[in-house]
Chains A and B, each alone.
Chain A
Amino acid sequence: MASQKSKQFDPVANLHEIEEKFEMFQILNEEGEIVNTDADPKLSDDELVELMRRMVFTRILDQRSISLNRQGRLGFYAPTAGQEASQIASHYALEKEDYILPGYRDVPQIVWHGLPLSKAFLFSRGHFIGNQIPEGVNVLPPQIIIGAQYIQAAGVALGMQKRGKKAVAVTYTGDGGSSQGDFYEGINFAGAFRSPAIFIVQNNQFAISTPRELQTAAKTIAQKGISAGLPSILVDGMDPLAVYVATRDARERAVNGEGPSLIETMCYRYGPHTMAGDDPTRYRTSDTDSKWEKKDPIVRFRKYLEAKGLWNEEKEAEVIENAKEEIKAAVKEADAAPKQKVTELIRNMHDGDLPYNLQEQYEIFKEKESK
């Protein structure tokens, strides 16, 4: 009886069959060669150069942010080096009307989406002006609770759908975030409503120190999307072209009313989890580090563009120089932000009149702050 049943349906074979289908999607290999000609997005020369410029800028931003943090001139900071293809190439497939719900490592995407860099620095320093999103910039401040942005993305996407917008809600988390209940609820809600959302899991191999293997028995994180009815793909997260194409296609499906998608980008963070005392040598080896550094998104994209005659050392030096200047100006602007007052914080608790307790406390701090 039992064996007959298993002939009809073998759940173990079924699992393996599904898992094997999640091969990693790649267009540009480590040597900067197109290995998947059919999938080549055929970006124009200008578009390719702009994508490279943004990735190089973001690498410099990361280096400067780390050094500013070490000098005590920046606060909370989560390094991004290694994740440029995942972050910048996915963002490159978006439009201004799309809405980004970032995790705390996803500051570059919201900056490229229009958040002034000075505000990103003020967020890091712990000033509310950093979170005052300018009108027309469709982003939230970085989310601290891992996974909370996933359920909110389902809501933004449903709202866009109800408004009849041709736009998507895009949210990011990591391999660790894919273990949270909110991850499942977010993809499930968006799937159930067929809302225009893109859920990106940047699988950078470690949730602080916990390796990907300990997060889940699932062979890939991408396959989790299948259970909620989402088209899902595992992408080489160090390959800017593959990430771009996966996001572009997900966006196209979403705005065409075909619902949400899940993208897992296989990548690596070179730096520590954050600059607040994390020491990666406690949980990973330099062998692993160098294995991933060989896959570097900027190195392979540079090779690709150089072969096409679109990039050279001079050009890169110019981008780096401009990045440094822009960062310097943004730091200066952040320095000029007025000192925060508790009276302002109290004022920001509610719209309209303050309740009695806050009104009384407002008066107390007004007195204190006048001295």
Chain B
Amino acid sequence: MAQMTMIQAITDALRCELKDDENVLVFGEDVGVNGGVFRATEGLQKEFGEDRVFDTPLAESGIGGLTIGLALQGYRPVPEIQFFGFVYEVMDSISGQLARMRYRTGGALGAPVTIRSPFGGGVHTPEMHSDSLEGLVASQPGIKVVVPSTPYDAKGLLISSIRDNDPVVFLEHLKLYRSFREEVPEESYTIPLGKADVKREGTDLSIFAYGAMVHESLKAAEQLEKEEYSVEVVDLRTIQPLDIETIIASVEKTGRAVVVQEAQKQAGIAANVVSEITERAILSLEAPVLRVTAPDTIYPFPQAEAVWLPNAKDIVETAKKVLTF
């Protein structure tokens, strides 16, 4: 096994799938010679040729249409949208077209497409680069949305996404690209979509999170342990569809829950998790389910980012309210 960062694990997943399935195509803005602006596709064009890994003109909607057309010719396209903040330009292709391909054709045509895109705050980007817009696509029936939080998960989940016969939006948190390494098998492996992962077991409180917030939640759990609280951290990994079994089992065990998201309170996935918990496990609850989120403003200017983004301290504060209710 090799030590890999998340970006290396992603490149590795793409390499495995390009090798395994001749119908897999990787393309987007600057993904060829340049290997992507974050080097997610580093070396892939050289290894697999310009026919399989290629640059496109600079137009996200065009990339979306290209993706759909290639899928109609039997390919398994894996386009990159350079930053998910640019998703508005390709929204019709994703939510208007790909999401309904199978449905509108009564199952006659599918769209085995994985759209990869970086997102997430904390790295001082210009505007429209860091926004957490996953709620937009997750609210569209027909699209699966995956957000890995570790290199190991990223590789297994990306391979599963590419092999899925329906469209998947695969979101890669910018801050996690190179924040740490872990052991990642060099061979191909899959992690099923729609399955959460208990990243830390506990008995007093369940924290549900995804993306970079998984790591803030783990930090919070460590601090709370010093105060004798046993906190479980569940990484949702797939935010559409949710892994309802794991979520409910955890709440039934701990009786208390906090849901954390980097997105604004009105925008993300947390409200959906809270609703599912209250619909399905109200009698197991000892306290209201609270959320830790960003405030409902537009994504902040870089100099205000550190205060705006939710962090471990915010999570500890909210967790204590729930724990002492």
Residues of A at the B interface (CB closer than 8 Å) are 99, 128-129, 131-133, 140-141, 145, 148, 150-160, 162-163, 169, 181-182, 185-186, 188-189, 192, 344-345, 347-352, 355-358
How far does the alpha carbon of A152 sit from the alpha carbon of B93 in the complex, in Å?
9
Contacts A131-B105, A189-B56 known; A156 to B69 CB distance under 8 Å?
yes
How far does the alpha carbon of A157 sit from the alpha carbon of B110 in the complex, in Å?
18
Residues of A within 8 A of B62 (CB): 151, 154, 182, 185-186, 188-189
How far does the alpha carbon of A163 sit from the alpha carbon of B102 in the complex, in Å?
23
A145: which of B96, B110, B141, B165 is its contact (CB, 8 Å)? B96
Taking the nearest CB of chain A, how far is it from the CB of B207, in angstroms?
A: 21
Most buried by A among B57, B242, B244: B57
Q: Nearest residue in B to A185 (C-beta to C-beta)?
A: B62
Q: List 27 A-B contacts (CB under 8 A).
A: A129-B106, A131-B105, A131-B106, A132-B106, A133-B105, A145-B97, A148-B65, A151-B69, A152-B97, A154-B66, A155-B65, A155-B66, A155-B70, A156-B72, A157-B69, A158-B70, A182-B62, A345-B103, A347-B107, A348-B106, A349-B102, A349-B103, A349-B141, A349-B142, A350-B102, A357-B244, A358-B241
Residues of B within 8 A of A169 (CB): 69
* Residue B67, interface by CB 8 Å: yes
Residues of A within 8 A of B36 (CB): none
How far does the alpha carbon of A348 sit from the alpha carbon of B108 in the complex, in Å?
9
B72 contacts A152, C-beta separation under 8 Å: yes
Residues of A within 8 A of B25 (CB): 162
Residues of A within 8 A of B241 (CB): 355-358
How far does the alpha carbon of A344 sit from the alpha carbon of B68 in the complex, in Å?
24
* Residue B153, interface by CB 8 Å: no
Residues of A within 8 A of B121 (CB): none
Residues of A within 8 A of B242 (CB): 356
B65 contacts A185, C-beta separation under 8 Å: yes
Residues of A within 8 A of B164 (CB): 351
B41-80 Cβ-contact flags toward A at 8 Å (1 or 0) = 0000000000100001101011011111111111100000
* Residue B166, interface by CB 8 Å: yes
B166 contacts A350, C-beta separation under 8 Å: yes
A355 contacts B102, C-beta separation under 8 Å: no
Residues of B within 8 A of A158 (CB): 66, 69-70, 73
Q: How large is the interface on B (under 10, 10 to 19, 20 to 34, 35 or more residues)?
A: 35 or more
Taking the nearest CB of chain A, how far is it from the CB of B119, in angstroms?
A: 23
A189: which of B65, B73, B102, B245 is its contact (CB, 8 Å)? B65
B65: which of A128, A141, A154 is its contact (CB, 8 Å)? A154
B97 contacts A185, C-beta separation under 8 Å: no
16 more CB-based (< 8 A) A-B contacts, given A151-B61, A155-B71: A128-B103, A131-B106, A133-B105, A140-B109, A148-B93, A150-B65, A151-B64, A151-B68, A155-B67, A162-B25, A182-B65, A189-B56, A192-B57, A349-B141, A356-B241, A357-B241
Q: Nearest residue in A to B67 (C-beta to C-beta)?
A: A155
How far does the alpha carbon of A155 sit from the alpha carbon of B244 in the complex, in Å?
37
B107 contacts A132, C-beta separation under 8 Å: yes
* Residue B127, interface by CB 8 Å: no
Residues of A within 8 A of B199 (CB): none
B105 contacts A148, C-beta separation under 8 Å: no
A182 contacts B61, C-beta separation under 8 Å: yes
A356: which of B66, B71, B165, B244 is its contact (CB, 8 Å)? B244
B57 contacts A188, C-beta separation under 8 Å: yes
Residues of B within 8 A of A148 (CB): 65, 92-93, 96-97
B16-30 Cβ-contact flags toward A at 8 Å (1 or 0) = 000000000100000
* Residue B295, interface by CB 8 Å: no
Taking the nearest CB of chain B, how far is it from the CB of A134, in angstroms?
A: 8
How far does the alpha carbon of A352 sit from the alpha carbon of B112 in the complex, in Å?
13
Q: Nearest residue in B to A162 (C-beta to C-beta)?
A: B51
Q: Nearest residue in A to B56 (C-beta to C-beta)?
A: A189
Q: Nearest residue in B to A153 (C-beta to C-beta)?
A: B69
* Residue B313, interface by CB 8 Å: no
* Residue B85, interface by CB 8 Å: no
Q: Nearest residue in B to A344 (C-beta to C-beta)?
A: B106
Taking the nearest CB of chain A, how far is it from the CB of B165, in angstroms?
A: 4
How far does the alpha carbon of A169 sit from the alpha carbon of B73 in the complex, in Å?
11
How far does the alpha carbon of A156 sit from the alpha carbon of B66 in the complex, in Å?
7
Taking the nearest CB of chain A, how far is it from the CB of B67, in angstroms?
A: 6
B102: which of A133, A159, A181, A351 is its contact (CB, 8 Å)? A351
Taking the nearest CB of chain A, how far is it from the CB of B279, in angstroms?
A: 11
Taking the nearest CB of chain A, how far is it from the CB of B317, in angstroms?
A: 32
Residues of B within 8 A of A189 (CB): 56-57, 59, 62, 65-66
* Residue B185, interface by CB 8 Å: no
B73 contacts A128, C-beta separation under 8 Å: no
A133 contacts B108, C-beta separation under 8 Å: yes
Residues of A within 8 A of B51 (CB): 162
How far does the alpha carbon of A10 sit from the alpha carbon of B106 in the complex, in Å?
56
* Residue B135, interface by CB 8 Å: no
How far does the alpha carbon of A106 sit from the alpha carbon of B62 in the complex, in Å?
22
* Residue B178, interface by CB 8 Å: no
How far does the alpha carbon of A181 sit from the alpha carbon of B65 in the complex, in Å?
12
* Residue B302, interface by CB 8 Å: no
* Residue B194, interface by CB 8 Å: yes
